Structure 1
């Protein structure tokens, strides 16, 4: 469950940061001039993610400790995981990354991105209301 919780938090930062607006279960704190720390709580689960933004406020990197056995020892443990987002484009009023790389051991010499996405199109479903 811990691995899925971490993945949910990271994917929210990358693909739908508006889902992490302050509210029940979501708290933010400044780390430094370009990094914020968001904690997501749901029941007994809690996941913290550091989000680095560029000078325009775009989230360009997310990092956290993820429960995984993707290490030389093949032992489940908390270890660095992260993503880098780039090639931001505006789609229906949202600025979204069209290039994302993510992987284990983020921020270390052993970092290896196993997820690399080059988005070719983003379409929002018709809501029938006032949405995108």
Structure 2
């Protein structure tokens, strides 16, 4: 009798494991397909020239002349690999993080592993073509987060635009971005992604290096967890040049930037950047 019970339990565990593996394979295929849609179909043939920003205020020119070397092909996407740490709440410990991301003119896919050992989570966060999702699983099998909603999609649009400092070619005025200089070291880029208007503020130094960025992002980091536009942004400690692009490579980011409520939850170092 005991043998039959153990056999039944073992069979149920095996069936559950197979089901989880099938679900994970389906999820991986979905992410791979989205990744493919974000990759540029044809390589860019247009190159950066200072003439492209000659009519902009001097601080805006300074930023672009620092970020893009003359003659560099104007990329439509960037592939990033990163490592660092992440936490889910201010009172929680930091977890080690490894991730790769494809960021393009129309969205992003971020695939990550966070935590370690028995508490490692794997999954992805993405936005493209008006849809987005966040899905993470323990050990890549047991679902922990599977979120998709209009609020999450709107927040993901903000993330997509807010990370374009890693892809400065798509911030050029010729791409429909409106720039203004607030002062000698503060500039603002106004643009829209899928009809969601966003204004990003950049703080730069006298050489044009990006020190900080911020914008209003849709999120639920409020006292009663209702969604609202919340100041969000990052601070950048180091930069590196990849293929003619000079971008921040060491950063921390979080909600309620520039306030006493600042919750930094994301710290990474960019290891590689390939512009497409």
- TM-score bracket relative to the smaller structure: 0.7 to 0.9
Alignment of 1:74-93 (within 5 A): 74-93=225-244
Pick the aligned partner of 1:94 from 226, 245, 251. 245
Q: Which runs of 5+ in 1 are unaligned?
A: 128-132
**Which of 1 and 2 has greater Rg?**
2
Q: Compare relative contact order (CA 8 Å, sep 6+) and give the higher one, 1 or 2.
A: 2
Pick the aligned partner of 1:37 from 171, 181, 188. 188
Do the aligned partners of 1:25 and 1:42 also contact (CA within 8 Å) in 2? no
Higher normalized strand content (fraction of residues): 1
4+ long deviations beyond 4 Å: none
Instruction: Let me know the Cα RMSD of the aligned residues.
Output: 1.7
Q: Which runs of 5+ in 2 are unaligned?
A: 1-152
Number of residue pairs the alignment of both structures matches: 124
Alignment deviations for residues 44-64 of structure 1 (CA, whole Å, 9 cap, x no partner): 321111011111101111101
Alignment of 1:1-132 (within 5 A): 1-13=153-165, 15-119=166-270, 121-124=271-274
Give the TM-score taking structure 2 as reference length.
Answer: 0.42
SS in structure 2 of the partner of residue 122 of structure 1: strand
CA–CA distance in 1 between the matches of 2:203 and 2:244?
Answer: 22
CA–CA distance in 2 between the matches of 1:96 and 1:43?
Answer: 25
